[in-house]
């Protein structure tokens, strides 16, 4: 099942580029929570704590238990997933996060990683290369049933063959929403290495007559 992370967040009461820059200078990241409420809720959180909890790798299939502290110091906990991450293009630092609130009994659409299991026959015997064509696929499931990944057995995959979405069995409670003809894995031929011919020995100069 999907990883769950507890994250303390606070409600923002200042908005705009200037306010967001001030938050970032203080080591915080502005965010917003969409979902099952009348209005989107502006938030912020400690950037270092976020990176520590996620180990610097953020995926859509992580469930965040957001501990929301309001201006009256009252705490509310909601479950949410990440819908969008924004990064500064030059420094590649996190600048904004869009969360989406989930409801336990309401299915959601979410992308999850595709993982190859086993060593393909076309690689082991044929010397080919396994091409991972599509690394994430869109699925629908309850928030509590989000898989860590969709595992695909590639053991019997031979050169010139492909594994499509239609060939994959989804975990219980999960529906794959991708086109059944979408290619996930193929085997391409490895480059043939040609041994270099030994260089001819240098010719000896003719003896003087």
What are the residue ranges spanned by the domains of the chain? Answer: 4-101, 108-188
What are 11-43's pLDDT values in tens digits?
988 888 888 888 999 999 999 999 878 789 999
Residue 74 sits at φ, ψ, to 5 deg, of -100, 140
User: What's the DSSP call for residue 200?
Assistant: P
Residues composing the chain: 209
Q: What is the pTM of this model?
A: 0.73
Q: Mean per-residue pLDDT for 190-196?
A: 50
Residue 200 pLDDT greater than 50, yes or no: yes
Q: Which pLDDT does position 195 carry in this prediction?
A: 46
Residues 6+ away with beta carbon under 8 Å from 136? 111, 112, 113, 114
CATH superfamily placement of domain 4-101 = Ribosomal Protein L25; Chain P (2.40.240.10)
Would 4-101 and 108-188 be classified into the same CATH topology? no
What are 104-136's pLDDT values in tens digits?
889 999 999 999 999 999 999 888 999 999 999
d(CA 200, CA 209): 26
d(CA 10, CA 44): 5
Q: Hey, what are 130's tokens?
A: 């396994």
Top-tier CATH class for 108-188: mainly beta
Q: Where are the alpha helices (DSSP H) in the chain?
A: 17-25, 47-54, 121-124
More confident of the two residues 73 and 5: 5
Closest C-alpha among 123, 122, 126, 169 to residue 150 = 169
Residue 61 pLDDT greater than 90, yes or no: no
């Amino acid at each position: 099942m999907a990883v769950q992370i507890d994250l303390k967040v606070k409600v923002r009461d200042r908005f705009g580029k200037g306010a967001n820059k001030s938050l970032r200078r203080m080591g915080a990241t502005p965010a917003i929570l969409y979902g099952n409420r009348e209005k989107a809720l502006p938030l912020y959180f400690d950037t270092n704590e976020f990176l520590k909890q996620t180990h610097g790798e953020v995926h859509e299939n992580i469930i965040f238990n957001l501990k929301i502290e309001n201006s009256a110091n009252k705490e509310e906990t909601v479950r949410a997933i990440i819908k969008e991450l924004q990064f500064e293009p030059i420094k590649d630092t996190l600048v904004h996060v869009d969360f989406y609130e989930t409801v336990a009994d309401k299915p959601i659409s979410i992308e999850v990683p595709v993982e190859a299991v086993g060593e393909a026959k076309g690689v082991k015997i044929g010397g080919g290369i396994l091409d991972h064509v599509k690394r994430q696929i869109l699925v629908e499931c309850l928030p509590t049933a989000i898989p860590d990944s969709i595992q695909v057995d590639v053991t019997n995959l031979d050169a010139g063959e492909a594994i499509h979405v239609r060939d994959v069995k989804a975990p219980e409670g999960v529906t794959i929403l991708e086109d059944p003809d979408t290619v996930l894995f193929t085997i391409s031929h490895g480059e043939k290495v040609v041994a270099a011919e030994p260089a001819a020995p240098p010719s000896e100069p003719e003896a003087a007559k």
